[in-house]
Amino acid sequence: MAKRIDVKDVDIYYGKFQAVRGVNLTIEPRSVTAFIGPSGCGKSTVLRTLNRMHEVVPGARVSGDVLLDGEDIYGSSVDPVNVRRTIGMVFQRPNPFPTMSIYDNVVAGLKLQGTRMRKHELDDAVERSLVSANLWHEVRSRLKKPGSGLSGGQQQRLCIARAIAVQPQVLLMDEPCSALDPISTLAIEDLIQQLKATYTIVIVTHNMQQAARVSDRTAFFNLAGVSQPGELVEMDDTEKIFSNPSDKRTEDYISGRFG
């Protein structure tokens, strides 16, 4: 079910402004890849091009290829909505639909897809997704209560349940823990470890220790220079990046010598 992503010679622009240049990388199925780098280096921008989410910004465009198991997600016959269904996303701030119940939040994606499902099928999908998101035991007795009544950490897990309810192949996470307390953060990190058995996961994080804890591969992005676009400096096994990176800029960044 999990799929591989190949990014080839990708340049990303917002209007005339080039945000990112020349990114080449491969993300293996059933692995966790962390994107790290200073603010403004383009890591979130690259993440968003992986499911065409950047297109919601007017003037945004991409050149190069993003292949999902060899298929170009920017192909002319490809529906971006379908891409986003296959490649789900979890955002920085937990954003459950505020007026919806926990149950309705989880099935929101399924209903939007227009798939006709029987009540028991929906019930199964809700339970399966909430179990996968490590939230089932905390909310099973109050599925009809509003999602906004949950704690921040629970809300984020609800968003993860909502994202995986539509059975995506890839899960993108844009700083999923930066609005959470340390305990909720560790709960999400444990969850990421469990989810990688099923999904390909890409996580953008400002917390380098989090990247070191949860990811198999780490990609370091940085600005190519003053007023220059962001670029991929180095991507390697996380163990290597944090013990003996090949590029001095990576070493300086992870050691806190700049950024």
Partner 1 sequence: MRDIYHDELDDIGNRVLMMINLVAVAMQRATEALLDANLALADQVIADDDRVDALRAELEDRTFQVIAQQAPVATDLRVLIATNQVSSDLERMGDLAHHVAKTARLRYPDVAVPPEIRDVIRQMGEVAASLVTKVADVVEGRDVALAQAIEEEDDSMDALLRKLFTVVLSPNWARGTEAAIDTTLLGRYYERYADHAVAVARRTVFIVTGRRA
- Give the count of residues interacting with partner 1 (CB under 8 A): 14
66's tokens: 């993003």
State the Cα–Cα distance between residues 175 and 183, nearest whole angstrom. 16
Residues 6+ apart with CB under 8 A from 67: 5, 6, 7, 8, 73
173-212: contacts with partner 1 (CB under 8 A): 208-209, 212
* Region from 83-91, 189-197, 223-231, 237-245 binding partner 1, contact rule CB under 8 A: 237-245
State the Cα–Cα distance between residues 33 and 35, nearest whole angstrom. 7
Q: Could you tell me the smallest distance in angstroms from the CB atom of residue 43 to partner 1?
A: 18
Three-point CA angle 80, 85, 88, nearest 5°? 110
- Does position 245 interact with partner 1 (CB under 8 A)? The reply is yes
7's tokens: 């990014």
- Does position 251 interact with partner 1 (CB under 8 A)? The reply is yes
- Does position 259 interact with partner 1 (CB under 8 A)? The reply is yes
- Does position 257 interact with partner 1 (CB under 8 A)? The reply is yes
SS3 content of the chain, % helix, strand, coil (to 5): 40, 25, 35
Q: Could you tell me the smallest distance in angstroms from the CB atom of residue 225 to partner 1?
A: 19
The mark string for 82-121 relative to partner 1 (x by CB under 8 A, - otherwise) is: ----------------------------------------
First to last CA, the chain: 37
- Residue 33 or 210 with smaller CB distance to partner 1: 210
52 alpha carbon, distance to own chain's centre: 12
- Does position 244 interact with partner 1 (CB under 8 A)? The reply is yes
- Residue 194 or 246 with smaller CB distance to partner 1: 246
State the Cα–Cα distance between residues 174 and 190, nearest whole angstrom. 17
Interface residues toward partner 1, by CB under 8 A: 208-209, 212, 242-245, 251, 254-259
